[in-house]
Structure 1
Amino acid sequence: MPEPIIRRAGPGDAEALAEIGARTFTETFGHLYPPQDLARFLDEAYGLERTRRDLADPAKAGWIVEAGGEVVGYAQAGPCGLPHPEVTPACGELKRFYLLKAWQNGGLGRRLFAETMDWLTAGGPRDVWIGVWSENDGAQRFYGRHGFTKVGEYGFAVGSTVDREFILRKSAVNFSTRPADEAALEHNLA
């Protein structure tokens, strides 16, 4: 497999980002929903206009993972929009974080995660939030290894289906107590 690269997404990446978003969501969760509900959700959440708006928003950022000229994953981050009473305007959120299945479990996720978290905390430590499907045990373990803990739940609607989502948070305190040399070592090992 070619060595993947991770880069910040720009306005010219809107089509590629919309396509990989819909593709990875379908690969991961498509089997859970009626086809008409899935199609409507993909159009709303991953449509080209929505993607362009997200890329144009200076409070948000996106990353694309490419290998051999193919987009194989992506991440998006920005202000936290999760329904939790402790969310403040200062909070950040890892909004989307996906790799195609063929590219998972090889260290690429750690690299993409580090890039995203570096951006989210560039202005200093702050609470970072993530919403994760209650049955996605692998993602929950990954985030747990990175200091996130479950602090709530909510219903995530895709058409008539409402999934149970966990709300995870990494407190700003956990960022500020982490030695800088440990963070550099982890980034280099990923």
Structure 2
Amino acid sequence: MPSAPLIRHATAEDAAPLAAFAAQAFTDTYRDLDDAQEIADYVAEHFQPGVVAGVIQDAACTTMLMTLGDQLAGYAILRDAPPPSCVTGPGPLQLWRLYLGQGLGARLMAEVNAEARQRGARTLWLGVYDRNQRAVEFYGRCGFVQVGNKEFLFGGRLYIDPIYAATLREPP
């Protein structure tokens, strides 16, 4: 019987396994949506252990890991970042990345919401590739609504990605 998922904050020792997981999750998510070389270039720039270690150590970020036994099953990164003007809710905090495997999204999102509230946030916001339909639907189920758009440069092309926001509510 598989163990229950455990969610914890990442440490410096998690940088290499998180980088490998993040690179694979990104590749798996976008392999049918974009050019393979552009995906590989993005992964090489953003998901190296040194880059991930910098994010883990960044005081503006909270990196959360979800594990099942000794296997990484998902992660999320909250980041203090200036919100775009379309995010008008109070106390905004960016949900910078959230990648999952094994259908555990609702559990990780509940922990993300709790962490965001603990950090004083009252609104979560994020940008997502509109062709990533699984993510768009997941965020919709989590209460996010589209509030605007932002530019995202990927592979030498400029994309207009939707921005979503959700008001954080206290748990029942």
Do they superpose with TM above 0.5? yes
Any idea what the Cα deviations from partners look like across 1:9-57, whole Å, max 9, x if unmatched? 1111011111111110001102333333222211222122211111111
The DSSP-based 3-state class of the residue aligned with 1:24 is: helix
Task: Give the number of the structure whose residues are more often helix, by fraction.
Answer: 1
The aligned counterpart of 1:76 is 77
Question: Taking structure 1 as reference, are residues 169 and 54 closer, same or farther at Cα in structure 2, changes over 3 Å only?
Answer: same
CA RMSD, 1 decimal: 2.4
The aligned counterpart of 2:27 is 26
The aligned counterpart of 2:117 is 121
The aligned counterpart of 2:51 is 50
Match of 2:162 among 163, 166, 169: 166
The aligned counterpart of 2:145 is 149
Conservation of the 8 A alpha-carbon contact between 2:77 and 2:96: yes
Aligned length: 170
The DSSP-based 3-state class of the residue aligned with 1:118 is: helix
Gaps of 5+ in 1: 185-190
Measure, in 2, the Cα distance between the counterparts of 1:50 and 1:13: 12
Alpha-carbon shift at residue 161 of structure 1 (Å): 4.1
- Percent identity between the aligned chains? 33
The DSSP-based 3-state class of the residue aligned with 2:32 is: helix
The aligned counterpart of 2:100 is 99
The aligned counterpart of 1:188 is none
The answer to whether the aligner puts 1:85 opposite 2:80 as a matched pair is: no
The one-letter code sitting in structure 2 at the alignment partner of 1:12 is E
